[in-house]
Amino acid sequence: MLSVDFEKRLDNFHLRPRFDAAEELIVLLGPSGSGKSLTLRAIAGLLRPDSGRIELPSGVVFDSAGRIDLAPQARSVGYVVQDLALFPHLSVAENIAFGLNGWPKAQQRQRVRELVELLALDGLESRLPRETSGGQQQRVALGRALAARPRVLLLDEPFNALDAPIRNALRREVSRLRRQLGLLALFVTHDLQEAYALADRIAIYDDGAVLQCGARDDVFRSPASVRVAQLLEARNIFEGRVVSKTEAFTEIETPWFRGRARGEGNLAPGARAALCVRPEHVILLRRDRPHSNQLETTLDVELVDELATGNNHRLYLKLAGTEDCIMEADVSAHPYQVMGIATQREWSVALTLEQTVAIPLADA
C-alpha cells in the first residue's frame, strides 16, 4: 500500500499531491513543472514536505503529525532519476552493487550476477558507464535501483533520452520486472502514450495537485473534469447544459448541437456539463447510409484538414452549419484507404453512448 498526501510550498509553487496505490504500476502523468518529479523526491526523502504523510509498503516514512521523517538511506526505495546519475568512476558491476554495502561479499557477487542476467548486461560488468550504450546505461540504473530488493521503485521519465524502439523494449521490460518482483512502481512521464502503455493506475497532475487518480481505464473513460479530459488529450470537449437525464443517457445541449452521453453520474437537467468523446471513438459514416440507433448522436460534418501520423490519420471535421466547431477523429490507414477518405469531403459522424461521457462543469 502506498499513500501520499502532503503539502510543500516552494517559490511560486504549491505542491499538494494526494493519491494511493497498491502493488501495481502507477503513472504520474502531467505537464512538465506540475510537480511529478518533486513528488518522487519527497517519497525518496530528498525533499521534505511542510506537512502531511507518506506511507510506503514498508511503513510510514514521513508524518508531520507523528514527527516521522526517515532519512533517504532508511527508506529502501529504488530511485531511477531522469538522467540516471550512474557513478562515473565505478564499473557496471560496482554501480549495481552500490546499494549492497554491508552484505557479505559472496552474496553481493551473487546478487550482482542475478541482476546482470536479469537485465542482459552480461560481459559489461567491468566497463565504466560511459563505455556502454544509452539502453545499457538505463538497465544499469534499473539494476542499481533494484539490487537491494526495495519494495518501491521510483522511475522519473527514465526513457526520455532513448530512441523509440529501445524505449518500447524497456517499457515492456519494466512491466515484466515489476510483475515478476511484485513491486509497487511509480512512473513519472508527460507522454500520454507511455502512460497508457504502462499504467495499471494513473494519477493526473496539474499545477502541483492531483486532479484525479484511479484505474487507468476508469480515468480514461470518465475524466472527472474538463482539465483532466484535456490533459488526456480527449480533444472533443463541448461545453453546454444538461437538457434531459435518464438512467441510460444524459442529453446535453451545446451551442452547436445536441448530443447524448452515458447516463452515469447525477447531473440534473439545467446543470452545466461538457460532452466529451476521444478522437479514436468518433465513428466516421457515409452520409448516404444514415444510422438508425436513436441513442447515438449523429452529425453531418465536412472534412477540412487532416494529419497523418504513421499508421493513423487525424481528421479535422467541421460540423455542418457551424463556422468553427471542429471535431477530431482518428482513422487508421486501412479504413482510410477503403473508405476513400482522401477524395471525399462530406461525411457524417456517430458518437456512441458507450464512449461519450458527460463531464460536470462548475457553474459560471
Tell the burial category of 253 from Cβ atoms under 10 Å away from its Cβ (0-12, 13-18, 19+). Answer: middle
Query: CB of residue 76 vs another protein: minimum separation in angstroms?
Result: 7
Report d(CA 215, CA 202) in Å as an integer.
Answer: 6
**What is the total residue count of the chain?**
364
Of the candidates 88, 123, 182, 340, which one interacts with another protein according to CB under 8 A? 88
Q: CB-hemisphere CA count at 13 Å for 74?
A: 8
d(CA 156, CA 189): 7
C-alpha cell at 144: 542499481
- Beta carbon nearer to another protein, 17 or 45: 45
The span from the CA of 194 to the CA of 280, in Å, is 17
- By the 8 A CB rule, do 315 and 329 touch? yes
List beta partners, residue 308.
313
At closest approach, how far in Å is the CB of 123 from another protein? 24
In 3D, which of 208, 193, 225, 183 has the Cα closest to residue 26?
183
Closest approach of another protein to the CB of residue 48, in Å: 13
- DSSP H helices, the chain, are 36-44, 92-97, 105-118, 134-146, 164-181, 192-198, 216-221, 226-231, 333-338
Tell which one of 11, 32, 67, 73 touches another protein (CB under 8 A). Answer: 73
Residue 44 or 275: the one with the smaller Cβ distance to another protein is: 44
Stretch that binds another protein, among 79-87, 160-168, 235-243, 245-253 (CB under 8 A): 79-87
Contact with another protein (CB under 8 A) among 50, 87, 160, 295: 87
Q: Choose which of 46, 60, 215, 295 interacts with another protein (CB under 8 A).
A: 46
Closer to another protein at the Cβ: 76 or 348?
Answer: 76
Alpha carbon of residue 243 to chain centroid:
33
Helices 164-181 and 134-146, axial angle in degrees (round to 10): 20
50 binds another protein (CB under 8 A): no
Tell the smallest beta-carbon distance from residue 56 to another protein (Å).
Answer: 13
Of positions 45, 143, 240, 279, contacts another protein by CB under 8 A:
45
User: Minimum Å distance from CB 167 to another protein?
Assistant: 22
Give the other-Cβ count within 10 Å of 135's Cβ.
18
Please, which residue, 186 or 329, has the CB nearer to another protein?
Answer: 186
The dihedral sign for the CA sequence 196, 197, 200, 202: negative
DSSP string computed for 221-249: HS-SSHHHHHHTT--EEEEEEEEEE-SSE
Per-residue binder mask for another protein (CB under 8 A), 89-128, x = binder: x--------xx-xx--------------------------
If binding is defined by CB under 8 A, does position 13 make contact with another protein? no
SS3 assignment, position 51: strand
What sign for the dihedral angle of Cα 176, 180, 181, 185? positive
Q: Which stretch binds another protein (CB under 8 A): 73-81, 162-170, 258-266, 300-308?
A: 73-81
List the interface residues with another protein, window 216-245 (CB under 8 A): none
The nearest distance, CB 46 to another protein, in angstroms, is 5
Nearer to another protein, 72 or 214 (CB): 72
> Does residue number 79 form part of the binding site for another protein (CB under 8 A)?
yes
Q: Whole-number minimum distance, CB 41 to another protein, in Å?
A: 8
List contacts with another protein (CB under 8 A).
44-46, 71-73, 75-79, 81, 83, 85, 87-89, 98-99, 101-102, 144-145, 147-148
